[in-house]
């Protein structure tokens, strides 16, 4: 019998990109279900439970009947808390500092990537958005699916995974509408220093038509350079909004997912005085509002005691030093010390050569199937940067024992498979 003819799926939807991390994750889970012993460094989320005081605030919200819709921009106490926290982290003060009215609460920070693209570009108009490569893959997919032109800006290992401001200057055209910055950075763990941001601002001042999307979701996960003390303050975080003239044209995106181990609660926030009402309208058109229960939990996350968040950060810092130290002892692998987030991005060009792997993706697959170690490859974060070699990504949101065992397996794999 003929298959029933179904209506078509749009070319737009068929061309929509994704986070290939989820594809690898499915592969890893299948192996684990089949009884294979796999140590996973794939997942970009804290491996801690949400702190108990925050859980309790969520339960209390349910019991107190806080079940209904909220205003699309979010509940006032959360907008106020988020504004205070955004200003505190960036040292913003005075009449231009972020107010509650400038903040919109969303179901995670992720939706604001789409809202920002939709708010500053028109489909098919040739509007360009510059985004980091390697980078969070949703930037490119959202730019493209909404009919803007994705313009990759390459991050350089020699610059600790910042980009060259001259390369930025060369990519800006009269059609450029937005520049996406992400610090600390997924997938490299790199951070933009105050000097990097000054150089970027100097370029942007020549191009007033360009908005900045500052994806600062990892703002609280910053560590001292090198193997420093694990109790340093968070003053090292630098934001483009600290540079004169940059705040009004910058969309700050931050949220609860990473800092308070709340990925599944879905709470993020975006701040920009001009665009807040526009984002609010997008939220009305999509989610209506973020979960009210999660919003009350996030109020507690920001306003309540910070010892659990501080302990998680300290733990990530220690793990960073552990994994980077161990990776650099493995033949064929060299790893820069990332300044933030919970990712390491070692160069494995030499390890690929030693083991006869054509590229990082073949190396990743063999690590998974032959060594029982799951990582992601550079191609999961955009096209490979020309002349920058082969890289893989570790999420070190894993126990010290898992880190030690995983890196040992990789070292053994390379030693065993010398070509
Ligand atoms: N931006 C970056 C760079 C991320 O890595 C992530 C999460 N992986 C997000 C945004 C989205 O975070 P959220 O859970 O708040 O939507």
Residue 84 predicted with pLDDT over 60:
yes
- The C-alpha atoms of residue 150 and residue 144 are separated, in whole angstroms, by 6
Number of folded domains in the chain?
Answer: 2
* Burial of residue 82, with CB atoms counted within 10 A of its CB: 0-12 exposed, 13-18 middle, 19 or more buried: buried
Report the pLDDT value the prediction gives residue 230, as an integer from 0 to 100: 45
221 and 262 share a domain?
yes
- pLDDT for residue 140: 97
CB-CB neighbours of 244 under 10 Å: 8
Pocket test for ligand 1, best of 258, 266, 381, 393 (most atoms within 8 A of CB): 258
What is the maximal distance between C-alpha atoms in the chain?
A: 72
End-of-domain residue from the set 253, 276, 305: 305
| Ligand 1, atom 11: closest residue by C-alpha | 110
Residue 2: is its pLDDT beyond 70? no
CATH at 348: 3.90.1150.10
* Ligand 1 pocket list (CB less than 6 A): 44, 108-110, 136, 182, 186, 215, 217, 255, 257, 263, 268
301 with 323, same domain: the answer is no
Query: Average per-residue pLDDT in the chain?
Result: 95
Task: Identify the burial level of 365 via C-beta atoms within 10 angstroms of its C-beta, where 0-12 means exposed, 13-18 middle and 19 or more buried.
Answer: middle
pLDDT digits (tens, 9 = 90+) for 184-211: 999 999 999 999 999 999 999 999 999 9
Tell me what percent of the residues of the chain surpass a pLDDT of 70.
97
Residue 20 counted as domain residue: yes
The CA 208 to ligand 1 mean position distance, Å, reads 27
Question: Does residue 213 surpass a pLDDT of 80?
Answer: yes
Q: Look at residue 104 and tell me whether its pLDDT is greater than 80.
A: yes
CA of 411 to the centre of ligand 1 (A): 31
In a domain, residue 211? The reply is yes
Q: Are residues 329 and 214 in the same domain?
A: no
- Model confidence, pTM: 0.96
Domain match, 295 and 323 both: no
Q: Identify whether 108 is part of a domain.
A: yes
Together in a domain, 87 and 134: yes
> Residue 360 belongs to what domain range?
11-48+308-416
Q: What is the pLDDT of residues 107-157, one digit of tens each?
A: 999 999 999 999 999 999 999 999 999 999 999 999 999 999 999 999 999
| pLDDT, position 231 | 47
CB atoms within 10 A of CB 256: 29
pLDDT in tens, 347-359: 999 999 999 999 9
* Ligand 1 center–CA 18 separation, angstroms: 13
Distance, CA 356 to ligand 1 centroid (Å)? 34
- Residue 159: inside a domain, yes or no? yes
Q: Which of 81-85, 141-145, 319-323, 385-389 has the lowest mean pLDDT?
A: 385-389
pLDDT score of 23? 86
Task: Catalogue the E-assigned strands of 76-127.
Answer: 103-106
Which ranges constitute the DSSP H helices of 174-269? 194-205
With both helix axes pointing from N to C terminus, report the angle between 276-285 and 111-120 in degrees, rounded to the nearest 10. 120
| pLDDT of res. 234 | 46
Which of 305, 331, 361 marks a domain boundary? 305
Same domain, 34 and 134: no
- Tell me the best of 20, 105, 114, 186 to mutate to test the pocket of ligand 1, counting ligand atoms within 8 Å of each CB and taking the most: 186
Residue in 20, 44, 22 with CA at minimum distance from that of residue 258:
44
User: Residue 306's pLDDT is what?
Assistant: 97
Is position 54 within any domain?
no
pLDDT band at 419 (very low <50, low <70, confident <90, very high): confident
Distance 284 CA to ligand 1 centre (A): 21
Co-location of 301 and 341 in the same domain: no
Per-residue pLDDT, 44: 87
The burial of 158, by beta-carbon neighbours within 10 Å (0-12 exposed, 13-18 middle, 19 or more buried), is given as: exposed
Same domain, residue pair 145 and 108:
yes
Q: What is the pLDDT of residue 4?
A: 84
**What tens digit of pLDDT does each residue of 222-251 get?**
997 755 554 445 458 999 999 999 999 999
Q: How far is the CA of 404 from the centre of ligand 1 (A)?
A: 27
Nearest Cα neighbor of 251 from 281, 221, 217, 224 is 217
Is 113 in the same domain as 253?
yes
For residues 221 and 365, state if they share a domain. Answer: no
- The mean-pLDDT minimum among 2-6, 8-12, 214-218, 406-410 falls in 2-6
108 contacts 268 by C-beta, under 8 angstroms: yes
Q: What share of the chain is helix, strand, coil (3-state, %, to 5)?
A: 45, 15, 40
Q: Does 225 lie in the same domain as 315?
A: no
Q: Which atom of ligand 1 is nearest the CA belonging to 185?
A: 3
How confident is the model over 362-386, as pLDDT tens digits?
Answer: 999 999 999 999 999 999 999 999 9
Please tell me whether residues 237 and 360 are part of one structural domain: no
pLDDT in the model for residue 235: 55
Kindly report the CATH number assigned to the domain that includes residue 103: 3.40.640.10
């Amino acid at each position: 019998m003929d298959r029933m003819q179904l209506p078509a799926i749009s070319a737009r939807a068929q061309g929509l990109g994704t986070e290939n991390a989820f594809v690898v994750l499915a592969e890893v889970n299948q192996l684990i279900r089949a009884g294979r012993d796999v140590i996973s460094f794939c997942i970009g989320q804290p491996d801690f439970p949400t702190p108990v005081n925050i859980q309790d605030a969520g339960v209390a919200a349910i019991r107190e009947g806080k079940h209904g819709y909220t205003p699309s921009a979010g509940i006032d106490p959360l907008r106020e808390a988020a504004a205070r926290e955004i200003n505190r982290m960036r040292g913003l003060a005075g009449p231009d500092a972020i107010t509650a009215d400038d903040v919109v609460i969303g179901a995670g920070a992720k939706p604001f990537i789409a809202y920002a693209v939709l708010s500053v570009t028109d489909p098919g108009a040739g509007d360009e958005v510059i985004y980091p490569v390697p980078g969070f893959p949703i930037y490119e997919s959202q730019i493209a699916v909404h009919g803007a032109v994705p313009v990759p800006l390459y991050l350089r290992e020699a610059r600790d995974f910042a980009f060259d401001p001259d390369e930025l200057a060369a990519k800006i055209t009269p059609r450029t509408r937005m520049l996406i910055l992400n610090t600390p950075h997924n997938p490299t763990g790199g951070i933009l220093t105050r000097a990097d941001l000054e150089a970027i601002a100097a370029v942007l001042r020549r191009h007033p038509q360009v908005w900045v999307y500052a994806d600062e979701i990892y703002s609280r996960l910053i560590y001292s350079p090198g193997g420093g003390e694990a109790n340093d303050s968070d003053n090292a975080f630098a934001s483009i909004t600290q540079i004169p003239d940059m705040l009004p044209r910058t969309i700050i995106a931050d949220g609860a997912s990473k800092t308070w181990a709340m990925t599944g609660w879905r709470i993020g926030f975006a701040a920009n005085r001009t665009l807040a009402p526009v984002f609010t309208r997008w939220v009305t058109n999509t989610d209506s509002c973020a979960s009210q229960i999660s919003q009350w939990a996030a109020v507690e996350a920001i306003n309540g005691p910070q010892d659990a968040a501080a302990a998680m950060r300290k733990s990530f810092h220690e793990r960073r030093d552990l994994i980077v130290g161990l990776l650099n002892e493995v033949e064929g692998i060299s790893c820069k010390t990332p300044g933030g987030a919970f990712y390491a991005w070692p160069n494995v060009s030499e390890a690929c050569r030693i083991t006869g792997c054509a590229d990082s993706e073949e190396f990743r697959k063999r690590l998974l199937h032959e060594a029982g170690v799951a990582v992601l490859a550079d191609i999961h974060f955009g096209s490979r940067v020309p002349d920058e070699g082969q890289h893989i990504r570790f999420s070190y949101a894993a126990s010290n024992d898992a880190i030690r065992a995983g890196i040992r397996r990789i070292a053994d794999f390379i030693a065993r498979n010398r070509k």
